[in-house]
Amino acid sequence: MHRKILVGSSAFFNEIEGFQPKDRDYVILVSNPVGFTYARQTSFSDKYCLFEWKKMSVDEFIKHTLDTKLPMTAGKFLIPEFNKQIGFTITDLKRLEPVFERIDKKHTYEKIIFDAYIENNDFVLTDDQLAAAYTSYTTARTSK
């Protein structure tokens, strides 16, 4: 059985009073994917998405993320549990800076988290860093 890992905004803001996610996203690593090469997304209603990713080496994950040029694929590397499963380090995260530099406005909270991890040299956030990320998250969703 594959372990589901909570990713996206819910992974960071779930415990914050007033947080109302539009959905919950999960990632699982698949050793022998069937029906996809690198990744597959399945939506279960509009409240739950599952992202299946082929289990790869850290270098393969980084190369794929840089080559696809899709900033949204980088968010999973902000999740300590995911990183632990693949052996991903802060040094590895630094290699993805070009992707986080191109993140869209609704996901600038991820760039704030990325910068905090680099500053802290660890996959942890201070309360102030989490608050800054949450402010970015809510601002991007309330401004038109």
pLDDT digits (tens, 9 = 90+) for 47-74: 899 999 999 999 999 999 999 868 889 9
Residue 1 in this model has a pLDDT that exceeds 50: no
Per-residue pLDDT of 103-113, as tens digits, reads 999 999 999 99
> 2 pLDDT band (50/70/90 cuts)?
low
pLDDT tens readout for residues 76-107: 999 999 999 999 999 999 999 999 999 999 99
Q: Taking the model in full, what pTM does it have?
A: 0.93
Answer whether residue 27 shows pLDDT above 60. Answer: yes
Beta bridge pairs of residue 41: 51
For 61-67, the CB contacts below 8 A with 24+ separation are: 61/86, 61/88, 62/92, 62/95, 62/96, 64/38, 65/96, 65/99, 66/95, 66/96, 66/98, 66/99
